[in-house]
Amino acid sequence: MTIRTIALLGISLLGTASAASSCNPLSATGCAADTALATSFAEDFTQESSRFYNETDSGSITYSTESHLGMTLAERYDAPTLISDFYLMYGRVEVELLAANGTGIVSSFFLQSDDLDELDWEWLGGDTTQVQSNYFSKGNTTTYDRGEYHTVTSPQQTWHNYTIDWSMNATTWYIDGVAVRTLANSSSQGYPQSPMLLRMGVWAGGDSSNAAGTIEWAGGETDYTQAPFTMYVRRIVVADYSSGDSYSYGDTSGDWESIDAENGSVYGRYSEAVEEFDLLVEGSTISNSTSTSISAAISSSTSYATTLGNSTTTTAQRSSDTVATETESTTILESSSATNTRFTTAVSSSAYSSTRTSTRASSGNSTTYSASTNSNDGTHAINPSIFFIFMSLASLF
């Protein structure tokens, strides 16, 4: 069987990339419901998190108070990957991350649904000045022209905050709180609108067995004698804009209107989630009682102010969540005016760079687990999900 045939087979089986679901709701009915997050949280990965598990059992994953989360590709065929045990139905995620070094090495942080909607951040180990944003709708990989590159200072050496704000009518990517790209729901190539889980990991796009287009995109062929290659995650903040116990598909359309939020509502906690996210980013904590008090205090207005038990006050004013343009790249539809000034008004697609640096060092125990696998193959590669499929497929030939 040729690599091309394997690639085509891999694309057709992309739904199996999610260990949480082997049922693609676009082609099957009765798929198991997706567990809803329906809250907000922050995780610093000083110890193994109960919210994530190692999907590939490949490579090395470590947790410590000094380095936080380390995901290491130590040898060929390693591809350490963490996947969440929850789904978001619209929401916001932020990661403080150091990308892995190394030609052909790809660090990934992305959201993906059971029907293969996807929102990505990807870093190439040999590119010290850029990060790539990308998206996919319903597994459509017929073209690879959705990606955009954004200038960022030394992503392998300098900590940066990378954010995806996925709302009903637009998705905005931020670097250190500054918007660098907005995708309107009017995109001609579709718009992600089904429940998505969170993935992060590192893999070798430059492996010699991958397709030529993959290797070229990844920056060249990987030299494994230069291993190990490690991606570090210091902190993530996650907020779900919907409520309920689970999210399920009412039909095979994949449209958000078909999603049923059991004991909740789609987009039902948007204002609450925004408030929680801002608090968590500032280092505050939230609880179920906090969420309840916020929910009771917030009116239908998009301007609100709440003081919580931790004596932290945050005021946010956001524009209505509407799209007034048919263009795929537009100015920012939502802005925040808050005490922490987390998000600023739009800079469309212009280059952005930052010299923000910080360190957080302490001592403590670390937790390590590692394993290996020995299968790999590739195709054009801007969709990171494909790689993990090929790892399983290649071992068959």
**What contacts 152, CB < 8 A, 6 or more positions away?**
129, 130, 131, 160, 175, 352, 353, 354
CA dihedral for 259, 11, 389, 121, sign (positive or negative): negative
Task: Give the model confidence (pLDDT) of 66-121 as tens digits.
Answer: 999 999 999 999 999 999 999 999 999 999 999 999 999 999 999 999 999 999 99
The one-letter code for the residue type at 220 is: G
Task: Give the model confidence (pLDDT) of 200-218 as tens digits.
Answer: 999 999 999 999 999 999 9
Quick check: 168 and 185 in contact, CB under 8 A?
Answer: yes
Among 2-16, 168-182, 278-292, name the most confident range: 168-182
pTM: 0.73
Tokens of 298: 């917030």
Domains of the chain: residue spans and CATH: 3-394 (2.60.120.200)
**What contacts 28, CB < 8 A, 6 or more positions away?**
252
Model pLDDT, residue 21: 61
Which residues participate in catalysis according to the annotation?
A: 118, 122
